[in-house]
Structure 1
Amino acid sequence: MTAIVPFTSASPFDKVMADIREKGWSVTDGFFSDELIDALLLDISEIDNAYMKQAGVGRSSDHQVVLNRRSDYIRWIDPVTPARKSFLDAMLELRLEFNRRLFMGLWDYEAHFSRYEHGAFYEKHVDAFKGKSNRVLSTVLYLNEDWSDADGGQLVLFDEHDESKKIGQFAPIKGRLAIFLSEEFPHEVLASQRTRHSIAGWFRVNNSIQNQVDPDQ
């Protein structure tokens, strides 16, 4: 597969590292190269809903589809195209930087494409319950051309100590990357007024017990 240059900056990780160290969350534009973003956008645009699945809430045996809480479609990402491989390779580099600079002990990364059709949303939630999940850092990369405020679909982050207090509301514009501590920050996706694409992912630690590896997805 042809390699895609993932970054345009010689030091793409500096701002994200500083943000996570200082406040536990980061929203960054221009983290990845335009070449990679365009290739990922083409990838997801070519996937029909019939080849995606209705997203649910919970994991493993607790997983269930609850459309009044979450209504997007997803497809888990494997390195089967140049764009997906380059993206996963870049997130591997980011994982190693988190471990080297912030000593986070991250073990692996999982991610899926996400598609919100008109009216789709995801109500306020956290990605991991304290002490009960191996997800440590959540990531969202947005893949939407010419997005306006009227298109909705914003990510809303809430304060870790007072979940009625908003930290910020962020439009899902093309190339924007959000990262935050999975256990700490409640967040929601407002109803989208047009088709909205993103990649949601999680850096995880290994909580294996008796040689039973924590499940993916």
Structure 2
Amino acid sequence: MHSLLPPDIPQGETPALFEQIAQKLESQGYAVLPASLPETITDALMQALAIQDEYNFRAASVGRGPEQTKNPFIRRDRILWIEPHLPAVNTWLEWTEQLRCFLNQRLFMGLFSFESHFAYYQPGDFYKKHFDAFRGQSNRVLSVVTYLNRGWEPGQGGELIIYAEDNHSELIKVQPAFGTLVLFLSEHFPHEVLPACRERYSIAGWYRINSTRLDHIDPPA
């Protein structure tokens, strides 16, 4: 996890993309932007992914802190946490930090830090319907997903389904196509990943607020 200092937000197409994200979050609480992650970032992430051995990925857990458990009936993906020492990931971390600063300025969200991991789904893997955060129980407030799957075709599965919070009806089904960005308010939208017919790579990340108390540091340093 990284506590981050504000960088200068660059000129050009990135602020326009950030504004699109902000408008959609403000109006509906989620944003789906196909093929929108800038090419410099997707190239760097593909480079980072290419040099990782399959055995660097570990079975993902459910829950948080001491309550974490591995439950293959809920999720079967494997993950690799993104840290600055990993080759080629700093472009991603810089971009997500720029987005953090923009959303704080534009929507006053109070985003404090960001964490993310690569996720690897083998054919047939899934992640059952869940929330990324429950009200009052976590400081994750904004979820970010992007996909690293070139040539993904309809019918290959692996979609992300986002549901309405109140009645759990389906709001949108997202193909895990290369460079697509998905953002949503973590406490508000249950979601799931459907099984795929081929290997599926993504990044899942979360912006967090600072909920530190005198007896509890959160996020950890």
Whether 1:210 aligns to 2:214 is yes
Corresponding residue pairs, total: 210
Pairing of 1:4-15 with structure 2 (within 5 A): 9-10=13-14, 11-15=16-20
2:170 aligns to what? 166
User: In structure 1, how many angstroms separate the alpha carbons of the residues matched to 2:11 and 2:202?
Assistant: 18
User: In structure 1, how many angstroms separate the alpha carbons of the residues matched to 2:87 and 2:22?
Assistant: 27
Tell me if structure 2 keeps the 8 A contact 1:109–1:204.
yes
1:186 aligns to what? 190
2:129 aligns to what? 124
Shift of 1:49: 2.4
User: In structure 2, how many angstroms separate the alpha carbons of the residues matched to 1:46 and 1:149?
Assistant: 28
2:107 aligns to what? 102
Tell me if structure 2 keeps the 8 A contact 1:7–1:33.
no
Shift of 1:35: 2.7
1:17 aligns to what? 22
1:50 aligns to what? 55
User: In structure 2, how many angstroms separate the alpha carbons of the residues matched to 1:83 and 1:211?
Assistant: 37
Whether 1:62 aligns to 2:32 is no
Select the residue among 109, 113, 121 that pairs with 2:118. 113
Tell me if structure 2 keeps the 8 A contact 1:44–1:197.
no
1:80 aligns to what? 85
Pick closer, same or farther for the CA change 1:46–1:82 going to 2, 3 Å.
closer
Amino acid at match of 1:118: P
TM-score for both structures, normalised by structure 2: 0.90
Secondary structure of the structure 2 residue equivalent to 1:138: strand
Secondary structure of the structure 2 residue equivalent to 1:12: helix
Select the residue among 139, 144, 154 that pairs with 2:159. 154
Shift of 1:83: 3.1
Tell me if structure 2 keeps the 8 A contact 1:8–1:33.
no
- What is the Cα-based RMSD across aligned positions, in Å? 1.7
1:195 aligns to what? 199
Shift of 1:214: 1.4
Secondary structure of the structure 2 residue equivalent to 1:214: coil
User: In structure 2, how many angstroms separate the alpha carbons of the residues matched to 1:80 and 1:175?
Assistant: 23
Shift of 1:39: 2.2
Amino acid at match of 2:56: Y
Unaligned runs of 5+ in 2: 1-9
Amino acid at match of 1:169: K
User: In structure 1, how many angstroms separate the alpha carbons of the residues matched to 2:82 and 2:215?
Assistant: 25
Tell me if structure 1 keeps the 8 A contact 2:210–2:219.
no
Deviates more, 1:80-89 or 1:148-157: 80-89
1:140 aligns to what? 145
Post-superposition, which runs of at least 4 consecutive aligned residues in structure 1 deviate over 3 A? none
TM-score for both structures, normalised by structure 1: 0.92
Amino acid at match of 1:71: R
How big is each residue's C-alpha offset from its partner over 1:100-159, in whole Å with a ceiling of 9 and x where there is no partner? 010111100000000001110000000001111000000101000000122110000001
